[in-house]
């Protein structure tokens, strides 16, 4: 049988990467197991693990049999790790040596390893598999052939725990920039390695998924996702948005008499809703970014909420003054005797609604995080509802009170 070319294999891996896990698993199940293993090896280990989890049992068994034993064992170890942890990204640690091995012996062992694996560091472990240190290629190149690895290795090397969350891993790598990191269990036993590129790729995917999560687009949805599946992903959130929109509509209905009496208010309702909505989305974006980067620590959440309140108050007052003048001039042009009161109502409503929007934009993702949920999950829908209710309720309520 003709072997697939490298271009074909890369094409398969690229197609798998562009699909959600269930669609990629369906494509992979139809491929030759050996070819499937090659494609999985080119993928981010976390993405490959998601695809493997979706494979039918028979297809998974066939792919596992076709994989090198060490790779198959690593897949099994990764599957035991929780989603969103470093353990899901592990690759096998092929270059593992004992401290009593000489430099020359290590080099000879590496000659066979580098034919099938990309090796950056060698790892030195004791008889129980406990990580003692690592050896760089430079150490092997310039050390004496009979020198013991225990004498030339770098002791106390930084290592991840398999259960380290990806958000914490990203922070820990910011000042290190190593190409590869060893991964150990709670006892210090070497269980695999993770590449820095895989960590950044995984985190980049999470960050790019955040804008969609804010409006109810699932992380699994891609450009190539089928129409029916995209509908199932999005429609429940749109129904939720419709339900919350009725809350804003209910506020308008409560003041139907005021709207009928002062039709001019309808001109400024979308202005207030849009301005306060943008204020809330700004606060939301800053808060979610702060949570992602670890800028928000214990005790700083209240300070952030207070800051967004005063920032919303200041922005609302500045834009509210302009809108108040616009309302006054429009009302005067229509010979309304309540022009001044209408201008004051718009100014106060804009100021108050922007302050409420700033607070909700910061508070919603912080509350979701406290509850153990994704801070970005449909948070924009909740914030938009709060801003619409606040802006319309304040304008119509103030107009009812001030304009008799």
Walk me through the domains of the chain, giving residue ranges and CATH numbers.
Answer: 6-67 (no CATH), 96-212 (3.10.580.10), 227-402 (1.10.357.20)
Mean pLDDT score across all residues of the chain? 83
Residues 6+ apart with CB under 8 A from 38: 9, 13
If 0-12 CB within 10 Å is exposed, 13-18 middle and 19+ buried, where does residue 7 land? exposed
CA 367 to CA 375: how far, in whole Å? 8
Q: pLDDT tens-digit profile of 376-404?
A: 666 777 888 888 888 889 999 998 898 87
pLDDT at 223: 59
How many CB atoms lie under 10 A from the CB of residue 242? 9
- Residue keyed to tokens 């919350």: 244
pLDDT digits (tens, 9 = 90+) for 61-114: 888 899 888 888 888 888 888 877 888 888 888 899 999 999 999 999 998 888
Report the percentage of the chain scoring pLDDT > 90.
26
Length of the chain: 404
Q: How far is CA 287 from CA 73, 200, 265, 296, in A?
A: 40, 21, 33, 8
pLDDT band of residue 1 (cuts 50, 70, 90) is very low
31 near 58, Cβ under 8 Å? Answer: no
Confidence of residue 2 (pLDDT cuts 50, 70, 90): very low
Residue with the larger pLDDT of the pair 97 and 3: 97
Cβ burial of 312 (10 Å; 0-12, 13-18, 19+) is: buried
Average pLDDT, stretch 122-132? 93
3-state SS record for the chain: CCCCCHHHHHHHHHHHHCCCHHHHHHHHHCCCHHHHHHHHHCCCHHHHHHHHHHCCHHHHHHHHHHCCHHHHHHHHHHHCCCCCEHHHHCECCCCEECCCCEHHHHHHHHHHHCCCCCCCEEEEECCCCEEEEEEEHHHHHHCCCCCEHHHHCEECCCCEECCCEHHHHHHHHCCCCCCEEEEECCCCEEEEEEEHHHHHHHHHHHHHHHHHHHCCCCCCCCCCCCHHHHHHHHHHHHHHHHHHHHHHHHHHHHCHHHHHHCCCHHHHHHHHHHHHHHHHHHHHHHHHHHHHHCCCCCCCHHHHHHHHHHHHHHHHHHHHHHHHHHHHHHHHHCCCCCHHHHHHHHHHHHHHHHHHHHHHHHHHHHHHHHCCCCCCCCHHHHHHHHHHHHHHHHHHHHHHHHCC
For residue 221, name the pLDDT band (cuts at 50, 70, 90).
low
C-alpha closest to that of 363 among 293, 296, 272: 296
Say if residue 253's pLDDT is above 50. Answer: yes
CA separation for the pair 294, 283 (Å, rounded): 16
**Of residues 321 and 1, more confidently modeled:** 321
Share of the chain above pLDDT 70, in %: 89
Give pTM, 2 decimals: 0.56
User: What is the per-residue pLDDT across 146-171, written as a single tens digit (0 to 9) for each?
Assistant: 999 999 999 988 999 998 888 788 87
Mean pLDDT of 250-254: 84
- List the structure tokens of 137: 């290629």
Helix pair angle (45-54, 21-29), 10° resolution: 70
């Amino acid at each position: 049988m003709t072997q697939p070319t490298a271009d074909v294999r890369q094409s398969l891996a690229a197609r798998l990467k562009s699909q959600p896990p269930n669609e990629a698993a369906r494509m992979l199940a139809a491929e030759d197991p050996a070819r499937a293993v090659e494609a999985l090896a080119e993928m981010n280990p976390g993405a490959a693990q998601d695809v493997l989890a979706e494979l039918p049992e028979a297809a998974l068994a066939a792919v596992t049999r076709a994989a090198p034993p060490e790779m198959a064992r690593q897949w099994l170890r990764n599957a035991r790790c929780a989603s969103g942890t470093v353990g899901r990204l592990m690759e096998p640690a092929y270059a593992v040596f004992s401290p009593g091995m000489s430099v020359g012996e290590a080099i000879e062992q590496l000659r066979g390893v580098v034919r099938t694996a990309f090796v950056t560091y060698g790892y030195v472990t004791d008889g129980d598999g406990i990580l003692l240190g690592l050896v760089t290629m430079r150490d092997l190149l310039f050390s004496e052939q009979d020198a013991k690895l225990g004498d030339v290795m770098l002791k106390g090397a930084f290592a991840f725990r398999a259960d380290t969350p990806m958000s914490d891993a990203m922070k820990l790598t910011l000042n290190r920039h190593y190409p590869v990191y060893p991964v150990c269990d709670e006892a210090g036993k070497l269980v695999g390695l993770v590449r820095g590129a895989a960590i950044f790729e995984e985190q980049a995917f999470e960050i790019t998924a955040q804008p969609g999560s804010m409006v109810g687009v699932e992380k699994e949805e891609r450009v190539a996702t089928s129409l029916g599946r995209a509908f199932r992903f999005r429609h429940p959130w749109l129904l939720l948005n419709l339900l919350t929109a009725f809350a804003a509509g209910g506020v308008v209905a409560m003041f139907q008499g005021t709207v009928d009496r002062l039709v001019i208010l309808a001109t400024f309702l979308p202005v207030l809703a849009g301005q306060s909505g943008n204020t809330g989305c700004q606060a939301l974006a800053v808060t979610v970014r702060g949570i992602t980067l670890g800028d928000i620590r214990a005790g700083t959440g209240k300070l952030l909420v207070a800051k967004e309140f005063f920032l919303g108050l200041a922005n609302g007052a500045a834009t509210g003054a302009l809108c108040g003048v616009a309302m006054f001039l429009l009302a005067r042009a229509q010979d309304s005797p309540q022009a001044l009161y209408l201008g004051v109502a718009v100014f106060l409503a804009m100021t108050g609604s922007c302050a409420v929007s700033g607070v909700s934009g910061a508070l919603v993702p912080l509350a979701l995080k406290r509850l153990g949920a994704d801070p970005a999950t449909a948070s924009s829908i909740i914030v938009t509802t709060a801003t619409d209710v606040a802006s319309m309720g304040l304008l119509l309520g103030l107009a009812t009170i001030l304009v008799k």
